[in-house]
């Protein structure tokens, strides 16, 4: 996963363009990916698919012809969606087009101008302060013209048409945690799920932020109705504990499943209530859809000093954090896959577990976790409770509850409740 982050990091991505296509083409080497191209000017709800932006080169040269700002050295140097320009101008004329971070003088900021035609450069504030007066040659060799918005989609069909959505954004240029960490973890989640039998179908979306989710929802209103659970993945590669932002519903099964998994992982984590600001969960959770989609991250957007700067590089992303993110989401999916309702087939008092070899000698050692799990499952399996309900009420990990249910089924003490898929 970390190797994929490093490989994709240099690509100059934006909400449209060849950088996005190159990223999707690389992902398609790992998983089956369908790439969709939506023409510029296409209405998508209250929005319109914008013109396509591509860039070949950009620089600011001093009087000696030296590149004092060079797109080739770092693609954050150019404001994304900058219109083409090639002029000579004074430093005073150039300054309104230069963006820096005085509080972080050695970092390049990330800036965009998606929906307003403009141009600009980003540079370390320390470099800006050293620029002498004089004439500068400014060039942004870009195009902004009718083209397409590109996004990738991977559907892994399961036993049912009910879907789990995993969404990540592919619109940022060289930002490793806020962009590529989510892309990499989503890719390797799809690889892991592709080789297993699934109750749910899993839909992975690799889309430009905001306009991508709006475009997908506009084109897939019927398909969206099949989404039962969903996650937006972003910023999952740094070394902070997990942060989970709940869906608009607040108590959706995905919200409960993640809370359960994080609680029993025994590591620091935080939970945020839903707000209509953040990543694409705000589109999936808009009132016209109200899908059960939350957002899993580590450090929250805008809350870590590397956010939207050149410091968000592959060295900021930790391979162990990526692995833990993948395993955590797989554990959440395991809860969703096996959260079924059961009926106790011998509900009159406790069935005798000992004669079936399911109950060890208690003595003074107390009740083992699996035995306690069996008692909870038997007691609450009246057809109205799912296994996650039982895990939450008992305080036991879902894995123990699920294992207990499987053992009880094998001994004909438990059966799926009517209507359970």
User: Residues with Cβ < 8 Å from 107, sequence gap 6 or more?
Assistant: 101, 124, 309, 310, 311
Closest CA to 205 of 142, 109, 129, 283: 283
Q: Do 272 and 153 belong to one domain?
A: yes
Residue 367 pLDDT: 63
pLDDT in tens, 337-362: 999 999 999 999 999 998 998 876 44
Q: Is residue 421 part of a domain?
A: no
Q: Do 134 and 163 belong to one domain?
A: no
Any known ligand binding at 238? no
Residue 419 pLDDT: 81
Q: Do 396 and 302 belong to one domain?
A: no
Domain termination residue (choose one: 281, 313, 338): 338
DSSP 176: I
- Residues of the chain with pLDDT > 70: what percent? 98
Q: Do 6 and 58 belong to one domain?
A: no
Domain span holding position 136: 52-145
Any known ligand binding at 2? no
pLDDT in tens, 241-290: 999 999 999 999 999 999 999 999 999 999 999 999 999 999 999 999 99
Q: Do 73 and 111 belong to one domain?
A: yes
Q: Do 184 and 304 belong to one domain?
A: yes
pLDDT in tens, 121-150: 999 999 999 999 999 999 999 999 999 999
CATH number at residue 221: 3.40.630.10
Residue 104 pLDDT: 98
pLDDT in tens, 150-209: 999 999 999 999 999 999 999 999 999 999 999 999 999 999 999 899 999 999 999 999
334 neighbors 194 (Cβ within 8 angstroms): no
Any known ligand binding at 178? yes
Mean pLDDT along residues 303-332? 98
148 neighbors 14 (Cβ within 8 angstroms): no
Distance CA 65, CA 183 (A): 39
Distance CA 50, CA 47 (A): 9
Residue 354 pLDDT: 87
Domain count of the fold of the chain:
3
Q: Do 253 and 197 belong to one domain?
A: yes
Domain termination residue (choose one: 338, 367, 392): 338
298 neighbors 244 (Cβ within 8 angstroms): no
Q: Is residue 263 part of a domain?
A: yes
Distance CA 4, CA 2 (A): 5
pTM of this structure: 0.95
Q: Phi, psi at residue 85, to the nearest 5°?
A: -155, 145
Domain termination residue (choose one: 111, 145, 179): 145
Q: Are strands 148-156 and 201-207 parallel, antiparallel or unpaired?
A: antiparallel
The rounded mean pLDDT for the chain is: 96
Distance CA 185, CA 233 (A): 8
Q: How many CA atoms lie less than 13 Å away from 21 in the CB half-sphere?
A: 12
Closest CA to 278 of 303, 249, 314, 309: 303
- Given a cut of 70, is residue 212 above it in pLDDT? yes
Q: Do 383 and 296 belong to one domain?
A: no
């Amino acid at each position: 996963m970390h190797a994929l982050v490093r490989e994709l990091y240099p690509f100059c991505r934006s909400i449209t363009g060849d950088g996005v296509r190159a990223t999707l083409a690389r992902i398609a080497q790992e998983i089956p990916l369908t790439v969709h191209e939506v023409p510029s000017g296409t209405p998508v709800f209250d929005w319109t698919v914008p013109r396509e932006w591509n860039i070949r080169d950009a620089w600011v040269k001093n009087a000696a012809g030296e590149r004092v700002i060079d797109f080739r050295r770092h693609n954050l140097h150019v404001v994304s969606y900058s219109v083409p320009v090639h002029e000579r101008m004074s430093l005073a004329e150039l300054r309104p087009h230069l963006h820096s971070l005085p509080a972080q003088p050695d970092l390049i900021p990330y800036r965009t101008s998606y929906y307003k035609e403009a141009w600009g450069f980003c540079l370390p504030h320390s470099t800006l302060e050293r620029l002498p007066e004089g004439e500068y040659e400014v060039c942004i060799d870009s195009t902004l013209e009718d083209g397409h918005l590109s996004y990738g989609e991977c559907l892994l069909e399961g036993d049912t048409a009910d879907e789990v959505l995993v969404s990540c954004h592919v619109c940022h240029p060289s930002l490793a945690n806020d962009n590529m960490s989510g892309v990499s973890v989503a890719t390797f989640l799809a690889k892991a799920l592709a080789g297993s039998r699934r109750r749910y179908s899993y839909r992975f979306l690799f889309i430009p932020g905001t306009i991508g989710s709006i475009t997908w929802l506009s084109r897939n209103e019927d398909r969206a109705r099949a989404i039962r659970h969903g996650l937006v993945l972003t910023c999952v590669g740094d070394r902070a504990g997990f942060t989970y932002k709940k869906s608009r519903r607040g108590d959706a099964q995905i919200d409960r499943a993640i809370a359960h998994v994080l609680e029993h992982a025994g590591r620091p984590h935080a939970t945020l209530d839903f707000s209509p600001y953040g990543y694409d969960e705000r589109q999936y959770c808009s009132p016209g859809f109200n899908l059960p989609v939350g957002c899993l991250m580590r450090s929250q957007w805008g809350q870590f000093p590397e956010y939207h700067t050149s410091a968000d590089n592959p060295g900021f992303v930790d391979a162990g954090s990526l692995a833990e993110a993948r395993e955590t989401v797989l554990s959440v999916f395991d809860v969703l896959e096996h959260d079924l309702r059961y009926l106790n087939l011998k509900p009159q008092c406790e069935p005798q577990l000992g004669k079936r070899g399911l109950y060890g000698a208690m003595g003074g050692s107390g009740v083992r976790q699996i035995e306690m799990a069996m008692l909870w499952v038997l007691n609450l399996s009246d057809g109205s409770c799912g296994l996650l309900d039982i895990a939450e009420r008992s305080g036991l990990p879902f894995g123990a509850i699920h294992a207990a249910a499987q053992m009880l089924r094998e001994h004909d003490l438990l059966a799926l409740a009517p209507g359970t898929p």
